[in-house]
Structure 1
Amino acid sequence: MEFETLRIEYAPGTDPGDGIRVLVLNRPEALNAMNTQMFHDMREAVHQLAFEEGLRVLIVRGEGERAFSAGGDLKERKGMSDDTWRRQHQLAEEGLLAIKDFPQPVIAAVEGVAHGGGCELALMCDFIIASREAHFAQPEVKRGIMPGGGGIQNLVRAAGMRRAKQLIFTGDRFSAEEAARWGVVNELVDRGQALSAAIAVARRIVEAAPMSVRYAKLAASRGGEVDFHTGYMFDLAAYNVLVPSHDRLEGVVAFNEKRKPRWTNR
């Protein structure tokens, strides 16, 4: 798959069979700002990757160490008509939701700037690993608009209602250290190490049974949006799909034989 504004590659230091792929936002000259073409490319790339056999973990990063993404390309949006803006935003919505609803785990590896839509893209991932020098912001209210890429809902859920309201109402920038303290970022690493740290986590994920991870993600993502008892029904429905699976049997046998399991994804 080749795209004008994105690059898809095998994670450095891994074998293709490991199933760890990296989606690279590739506009470093613009701090990986997302223009209309990138929204087109993202939607298409993520939809294609969702059906790629053998893919186990997707990592999203920005090209270079200056930025994950500075958000929407405001130079392109200067003078944009309301209709064109809405059409572009529909592409953004579809691409960002495709990341959130991706069937496999998605990790954001954040270096540098993650502002506006860039912050929203990181928040759409299952979790974030960030350089200590990274910084985040939802500055849309300073541009006469508001976060429209899931940033409000995701930040409320990650940082808590009151903290998120302050960040959204002010548009203030917050550091990776603060983001980690508030539960927005999972892990902090030295500058330039976000990708390698994300790959290390991805390697541990791919050691687990593929079906188990996929269904656990589904239950956690959907169950976390509803009340406990309804969410628990998601857990049990997914659990009972796994009970008769070949991999459940293999996991038990491998444990008792003191060897690594040989997963078949069935």
Structure 2
Amino acid sequence: MSQEAGQEAAVVVTEVDDILVMRLNRPRVKNALNREALRILVDAYTRLSNSRELRCGVVHGEGDVFCAGLDLADVIPASIEEGANTYLKPGQCDPFRLYGPACSKPVISAVHGRCYTAGLELTLAADMCVASRDTQFGQQETTRGIFPLGGATIRLPKAIGWGSAMHCILAGGQFGAEEAHRWGLVQVVTEPGEQLQGALDLAREVAKCAPLAVQAALANARLAQTDGVRAAVDHIRTEGRRIALSADAREGMMSMMERRAAKFAGC
């Protein structure tokens, strides 16, 4: 694992083979996301999206919590003046998938301890989640005089149901990893301390699959959520043919016929 940012950076970004690992690195303030952290995440998600070699991303937290939310004193005054421009430049990938393009590659969150507010919204915007049994999820903004800015009001009702989401968003209610797993927000529950390894294992399973097919399937599923079934069907008509004619599709067929593991090149 080669380090790309200094240990004092708000987020440390590394590569593990074809997986981009992003470690929230402000443990003294419970990994609260300040503008520096947001900007590094934006750069990392954009790098992941544009890379031919990287296949999947994993985001996790240093210390005893994943992320307790935004660093309000640092982010809110700037966001009032600049909005998302305080951390996001035109064309860059938005980790929250709201104010800019989404990363074209899957992202897996590995969470533990507290996963609150912006931390939960980062997880909701990810594509899969691995959670330690000790994880507590919560959306606390209304207890602090604001409301969620990173997509919880849009995604949490779909993820856990209307009433459970309103209890969380409107009253500051919390829920644990086992509940999140039953609802489908969490895909894998691990013992404490094993969530990063669980996420890396899951990312490696993704990375074994054909990259173009993974990206097309991910884009189609997201399109169905945001633009509806008809838009997703139109996308299938065009992208289905393109992917079926790819070298990876031929390799997938040959590997099946020859009863061997496929070697996908992303073309």
Q: TM > 0.5 between the two? A: yes
Can you give the 5+ residue segments of structure 2 that lack an aligned partner in the other structure? 89-93
Q: Which residue number in structure 2 is paired with residue 2 of structure 1?
A: 5
Q: Which residue number in structure 2 is paired with residue 39 of structure 1?
A: 38
Following superposition of structure 1 onto structure 2, how do residues 1-266 of structure 1 map, counting pairs within 5 Å? 1-2=4-5, 4-11=9-16, 16=17, 19-64=18-63, 66-76=64-74, 81=77, 85-87=80-82, 89-91=84-86, 94-97=94-97, 101-266=102-267
CA separation of 1:104/1:149 partners in 2, compared to 1, >3 Å: closer, same or farther? same
CA contact (8 A) 1:216 1:238 kept: no
Q: Which residue number in structure 1 is paired with residue 91 of structure 2?
A: none
Identity of aligned residues (%): 30
Can you give the 5+ residue segments of structure 1 that lack an aligned partner in the other structure? none
- 2:258 corresponds to which letter in structure 1? E
Range moving further from structure 2, 229-238 or 114-123: 229-238
CA contact (8 A) 2:95 2:102 kept: no
Q: What is the Cα-based RMSD across aligned positions, in Å?
A: 2.2
Q: CA deviation at 1:100?
A: 7.7
Distance in 2 separating the partners of 1:180 and 1:241: 35
TM-score (norm 1): 0.88
CA contact (8 A) 2:95 2:125 kept: no
Q: Deviations over 1:99-143 (max 9, x none)?
A: 981111100000111101111111110011100100111110101
Range moving further from structure 2, 226-235 or 137-146: 226-235
- 1:108 corresponds to which letter in structure 2? S
- Count residues in correspondence: 256
TM-score (norm 2): 0.88
Q: CA deviation at 1:90?
A: 4.1
Instruction: State the secondary structure of the residue aligned to 1:97.
Output: coil
CA contact (8 A) 1:223 1:234 kept: no
Q: CA deviation at 1:33?
A: 0.5
Distance in 2 separating the partners of 1:109 and 1:178: 16
